[in-house]
Amino acid sequence: MHAAVVRHFDHPPRYEEFAAQVAHDEHEETVDVVASGLHPRVRSQANGSHYTSTDELPIIPGIDGVGRRADGSLVYFVLPDTAYGAMAEETVIDTRRSIPLPAGADPIRLAAAMNPGMSSWVALHQRVEFATGQSVLVLGATGSAGQLAIQIAKHLGAGPVVAAGRGADGLAALRGLGADDTIDLGAGPELVAHDMAAKAAEVDVVLDYLWGEPAQRAIRPLATKRRDRSRLLSWIQIGAVAGPTISLPSAVLRQANIHFLGSGQGSVTTAGILAALPPLAAEIEKGSFSIDAVTRPLADVESIWNAPRAGPTQRIVLTPSS
Ligand SMILES: NC(=O)c1ccc[n+]([C@@H]2O[C@H](COP(=O)([O-])OP(=O)(O)OC[C@H]3O[C@@H](n4cnc5c(N)ncnc54)[C@H](OP(=O)(O)O)[C@@H]3O)[C@@H](O)[C@H]2O)c1
């Protein structure tokens, strides 16, 4: 079969012939891959920087996708940590980590949206007791996951949703997705601190895709400017696009009832992640969320890998057959 193959962590995957893997037990099954998303998590898998990464090479990247079973039916699958991922003509799935899809399902929308969508779906279902009417700040709202987080929070009954991100065009589009207010993180530090205090100090939940400097700058205004600092503020760390570490003054933890927690592989059980798949897939299929996806042939993976994106939120989906 052909696959995207990583042989060096400092070079994009190449389209090559590669030995097909075989199913080993009753839970494994070989499927033809129909579509697989090029998520940030896949990039970090391919360059060896993800926290689950081993130094094993070669690898085929790709953590999820839509596949066709031998009987012609479609499945959405999430792969276990494996060196033989979804960016191939065939992959071996674990049937316990896959869900059947209806015959008319749109593989591209699902491959594009399930991974970024799961981040907020799981965080709001599994990491906090999210209640109707609660207010949310999405930190890093212009990306695929952030855009879906706005829509998913609203879908789950959120009250005001404040979207913080950078880039005027990307930010302008967020109101159309349900954001009640926006904060431009590209403005100067004083203006950002002012806007955080004025627009986001009363939120109940932060969905944080950035960490690093933007998170560090947002913490103090949120912690100190809320009317009742004993009211719970849940800060859910989901991604670290802006940096892996922050400096956290100890006073913040005394000044406000702020809980820092994370959501991802490890902090959420596999069962918890799997529970999210059917309802989220159903909403994506129903068209409940706006998703910007673009399809590219798997054979062009090497040139696609580092090419600039056409839009701030566009998710590339690789298809072996196009
Ligand atoms: N834990 C989980 O369950 C889970 C699940 C899915 C995703 N994630 C993680 O969530 C993060 C976001 O994923 P994604 O799919 O949304 O990625 P994405 O589509 O690539 O979006 C990233 C966004 O972050 C913006 N950004 C980068 N640096 C920034 C900064 N310093 N300040 C403000 N905005 C900045 C980018 O803007 P520019 O275009 O201007 O650079 C872009 O809009 C990734 O780290 C991903 O691995 C976690």
* Global pTM value: 0.95
Burial of 283 (0-12, 13-18, 19+ CB in 10 A): middle
Predicted local confidence at residue 217, as pLDDT: 96
| Mean pLDDT for the stretch of residues 187-202 | 97
Express each pLDDT in 209-229 by its tens digit.
999 999 999 999 999 999 999
E strand or H helix that includes residue 155: helix 144-155
pLDDT at position 308, please?
72
User: What was the pLDDT predicted at 310?
Assistant: 64
DSSP class of residue 299?
A: G
116 ligand 1 Cβ < 6 A: yes
Percent of the chain clearing pLDDT 70 (strictly above) = 98
The answer, yes or no, to whether any atom of ligand 1 lies below 6 A from the CB of 209, is yes
Which positions ≥6 away from 159 have C-beta within 8 Å?
132, 133, 134, 135
Report CA(244)–ligand 1 centroid distance (Å).
Answer: 13
Closest listed residue to residue 233, CA positions, set 259, 196, 264: 259
Token pair recorded at residue 177: 């997705």
Residue to mutate (ligand 1; options 138, 151, 209, 265; most atoms within 8 A of CB): 209
Instruction: Report the atom number in ligand 1 closest to the C-alpha of 313.
Output: 19
Nearest protein Cα to ligand 1, atom 17: 143
283 CA to centre of ligand 1 in angstroms = 22
Q: Decide whether any atom of ligand 1 lies within 6 Å of the 125 Cβ.
A: no
Query: Residue with the nearest Cα to atom 5 of ligand 1?
Result: 119
Say yes or no: CB of residue 120 within 6 Å of ligand 1. no
Whether the pLDDT of residue 295 is over 70: the answer is yes
Q: Please give the number of the atom of ligand 1 that sits closest to the Cα of 116.
A: 6
Mean pLDDT of the chain: 95
Query: Which of 64, 78, 241 should be mutated for ligand 1, with most atoms under 8 A from CB?
Result: 241
What is the CA 40 to chain-centroid distance, rounded?
8
